[in-house]
Structure 1
Amino acid sequence: MEHISITSSFTVYHSLDELPVDVYELMQKAVEARKKAYAPYSKFRVGAAVLLDNGITVQGSNQENAAFPSGLCAERVAIFHAGAAYPGIKINKMAITAAADEKETTSPIPPCGACRQSIAEYEMKQQGPIEIWFMGSTGKIYCSASLQNLLPLVFDSSYL
């Protein structure tokens, strides 16, 4: 028997003012998208913005449905839109922000498991990392250099 240890590493920014200019602007686009979320059931609004290699920013917000599995998270809305509208264009960065209608969200909120798997697919497809920046509605912002930092034992096409 052997024991392995897997660790994750993040860069932490204490406020939006500390962010690099391009990331600040991307996070503002994510905040803008969050305000357009359709979240009548969870009252939990998420916005995402992806910065493509060609300089275009694509936004997404969570879209809920009364038949719960039929909704879609902001991260997947944004990344799938980018893949559909700009096939073959590399995704450099993703900014994510989440806010609850009924309480303040001050902790950084990362992508859910389904979104992590979807982002992993795009990293594999483009053969390069996607920086992921995430926050609540206020407070600290975490930066992950790659999705593999958030999902280290990723399932990908190499297993098929």
Structure 2
Amino acid sequence: MKKETLSLEFTVYDSEKELSSEDAALLSRARQAREDAYAPYSKFKVGAAVLMENGEIVVGNNQENASYPSGLCAERVAVFQAGAIYPGLAIQKIAIAAGSERNPLAKPAAPCGNCRQSIFEYENNQKKPIELLLMGASGEVYKCPSIQGLLPLAFGNEYL
């Protein structure tokens, strides 16, 4: 028998003021996108901003639906839109800003499993890591060097 250990590497910043100007600007775009989210049921708004390798930024926000499974998370809205607008271009970073009217001081929220898998598909295909910046309503920012850190033992196209 052999035991393996999986670990998560990320950096915690006390606030976005500690970030580089590029990261702070990307997170600002994610916060702006969060404000326009359609979340009438959960009141949990999420905005995402994707930085492409050509310097363009693509945003998305969560879109809820009374039939809950029909909604879509901010991360997938942004990543799929980026893939549609800039096919073949690598995604460098994704900033995600989440906040709830019920819990405005929440810590950063990581992407759900479906979003992690969708982001991994892009990271795996482009063979370059996609850095993530995660922020709640305010306060700390988590910086992850790759989606693989949040999705160990990921399922990729090499299995098909």
Q: Deviations over 1:26-58 (max 9, x none)?
A: 000000000000001111000000000111000
Q: Indicate if the aligned counterparts of 1:132 and 1:147 stay in contact, CA closer than 8 A.
A: yes
Aligned equivalents of 2:2 and 2:124: distance in 1? 29
1:98 aligns with 2:101: no
Report the 3-state secondary structure (helix = DSSP H, G, I; strand = E; otherwise coil) of the residue aligned with 1:92.
strand
Q: Deviations over 1:45-91 (max 9, x none)?
A: 00000000111000000000011111000000000000001101110
Aligned equivalents of 1:53 and 1:2: distance in 2? 40
Aligned equivalents of 1:64 and 1:31: distance in 2? 18
Code of the residue aligned with 1:92 in structure 2: it is Q
Aligned equivalents of 1:63 and 1:94: distance in 2? 18
Code of the residue aligned with 1:38 in structure 2: it is Y
Code of the residue aligned with 1:52 in structure 2: it is M
Once the two structures are TM-superposed, the CA of residue 97 in structure 1 deviates from its matched residue by 0.7
Aligned equivalents of 1:136 and 1:10: distance in 2? 16
Aligned equivalents of 1:88 and 1:149: distance in 2? 23
1:6-155 to 2 correspondence within 5 Å?
A: 6-155=6-155
Q: CA-atom RMSD, angstroms? A: 0.7
Aligned equivalents of 2:152 and 2:72: distance in 1? 23
Report the 3-state secondary structure (helix = DSSP H, G, I; strand = E; otherwise coil) of the residue aligned with 2:149.
helix
Gaps of 5+ in 1: none
Aligned equivalents of 1:105 and 1:5: distance in 2? 32
Report the 3-state secondary structure (helix = DSSP H, G, I; strand = E; otherwise coil) of the residue aligned with 2:124.
helix
Report the 3-state secondary structure (helix = DSSP H, G, I; strand = E; otherwise coil) of the residue aligned with 2:154.
coil
Gaps of 5+ in 2: none
Aligned equivalents of 2:62 and 2:152: distance in 1? 25
Report the 3-state secondary structure (helix = DSSP H, G, I; strand = E; otherwise coil) of the residue aligned with 1:47.
strand
Report the 3-state secondary structure (helix = DSSP H, G, I; strand = E; otherwise coil) of the residue aligned with 2:39.
coil
Normalising by structure 1, we get a TM-score of: 0.98
Once the two structures are TM-superposed, the CA of residue 106 in structure 1 deviates from its matched residue by 3.1
Once the two structures are TM-superposed, the CA of residue 105 in structure 1 deviates from its matched residue by 3.1
Q: Indicate if the aligned counterparts of 1:131 and 1:144 stay in contact, CA closer than 8 A.
A: yes
Aligned residue pairs total 160
Aligned equivalents of 1:42 and 1:99: distance in 2? 11
Normalising by structure 2, we get a TM-score of: 0.98
